[in-house]
Amino acid sequence: CALPISVLLVGDSAAEVVLGHPRTIHAPLDFLIQLTAAVKRGAPNTFVMGDMPFLSYHGTVEEAVLNAGRFLTEGTADAVKLEADASFAPVFEAMSRAGIPAVGHVGCRPQHMHRDGGARVVGRTDPSVRRVVDDAIALAEAGAVMILIEASTPEAMLLISLCFGLGRASRRLAVYTELISSGIFAPGGRDAPAGRDGLRGEGEQPSNEDRALCTSSGNDGEGGGVAGLSRLPRHLGLVASLAQDHA
């Protein structure tokens, strides 16, 4: 079947699914650069994003820019992705000045699992929603060309969309190894599912079931599922506050 793929992200999860490591933080910089280059050679007409690994951009701003530049020159990437919060704004500003397209990854950040005690959904309380939205806005204002939101609630994603004036999110991320194991690419394989492992077509909106996937794991004090949509009204007061703060 034909899968409409907008972006190929060469993620640091390759440390787990390719190299057999227990965590993404074990991904070597040189390995990811070469893996990104290999993907770009195989898909030269597709937008390829390289994932900057743990400690490749956490030191000085200068080191971060040089490492990101390697993804473009050696890895032939079209952009780099950084798991970041608002404190990384100076890094995004420097990359923007250098002409490096940088993508901000907010919400759940797997590189912080050791600190956070594992993966968890982010954005189930007002302060948590606000942090995610503030991070996204700060990185965008610092020059991020795209914002990737991982494992956050429908409320947080909708508020970010409202702040950016983008409407609903229309893209989901699927992991290549999960697609392979699902049999999609096998001869006569079934069509790509519209749920967690699927890639949606141009302009197609995620269903309520899709949005529920964002609250299907993790626990920071409230239940997940589609019921999260019913909690949206209590967050609406954040919209005016955020608009005032970032006007």
**Active-site residue set:** 150
Cα-based distances in Å from 166 to 141, 146, 147, 160, 226: 15, 12, 12, 9, 22
How far is C-alpha 239 from the geometric centre of its chain's CA atoms? 22
For every residue of 26-92, DSSP letters joined together read: G--HHHHHHHHHHHHHH-TTSEEEEEPPTTSSSS-HHHHHHHHHHHHHTS--SEEEEE--GGGHHHH
What phi and psi, each to the nearest 5 degrees, are found at residue 169? -70, 145
How far is C-alpha 124 from the geometric centre of its chain's CA atoms? 18
DSSP 170: -
Q: Residue 209 CB: number of other CB atoms within 10 A?
A: 12
